[in-house]
Amino acid sequence: MLGKIGLEEHFAIEETLGPSMGFASARVGFKEKLLDLLEIRLDLMDKYGMDMMILSLNSPAIQAIYNKQEAIDVAKKANDIMANAFAQKPNRFRGFAALPMQDPDAAIEELHRAVDELGCVGVLVNGFSQIDDKDNIVYLDDPRYRPFWAELEKSGKPFYLHPRKMHPKNAGLIDGHPWLDGATWGFTVETATHALRLLSCGIFDEYPDLKILIGHLGETLPFLVGRIDNRMNIVRKAGFGPPAQKPFYEYMAKNVWLTTSGQFQTAPLLATMMEFGSDKIMFATDWPFEEVQEACEWFDACPISELDRQKIGRDNAIKFFGLDL
């Protein structure tokens, strides 16, 4: 398929590069790919039928900078560098803003600057933030973020909840099994749990027009949300249910969109389409942590209707982001 639009396409700046370099041993030229904005990736896009990438900063990046002022400064620098790329190639790139969630007021300010001045189409946050100290981790359901969610809803822009590695104090589950960390399994546990915290805490009742994106076909949630709701009914009846007023499935159906990043297998895609429909899914590669070639060749050949392929590969993104293409 020609004209694909990818939603989870990463870059780094020197200040955020370090934590991602653990992937370098398995990727030839990984550092160069991650730092590149206008050369390597454009060649790949042209070769494999991608019209556009929506860029985002690597993980954990800003969320791991526990000095608040440094987090603010690096987020602004990264957003400026990214915006320069899509200013040069507006028909090939857009961007998700990085935000310094260590300071909710600063995050709101950068949200507005990134959207109104730089032209970002949304924001992407890499899970929990470390604030003031490396061991002080704060998730996005924390009450301090309610004003941020209010402003995000007013902006109409989507929020991409992206993975990061589990904090050591939460990683005992895989202690002694380092091969399960990161994208193998740890990302899924961390991000799916974070998403469930958001579904639980009531923000979708307070801010019903929020739009949340989750990659990797929803980090298993499309396959588990029915069971989760079934058990949640029991705990609600027992009197210790969550603040959320509705079944989690309803929030996912209304407020959550999913991408194919790093999930290049047909059976999970078909299952997700059966559960939430092709209108709720968008194409993504997760480059350079995954390969553009693998993502595109799988998607172009997977046995779905051409109508669904066009929706997932391009049309849904144009509609979702209001792209003028």
Known catalytic residues?
286
Which of helix, strand or coil describes residue 7? strand
Cβ-proximal residues to 312 (8 Å cutoff; 6+ apart), any chain: 260, 278, 281, 282, 283, 299, 304
Q: How many CB atoms lie within 10 A of CB 112?
A: 14
Counting beta carbons within 10 angstroms of the beta carbon of residue 58, is it exposed (0 to 12), middle (13 to 18) or buried (19 or more)?
buried
Q: Which residue has the tokens 């050949």?
A: 301
Q: What is the CA radius of gyration of the chain?
A: 19
Question: From CA 106, how far away is CA 160, in angstroms rounded?
Answer: 18
Give yes or no for a contact between 289 and 22, defined as CB atoms under 8 angstroms apart. no
Which of helix, strand or coil describes residue 54? strand
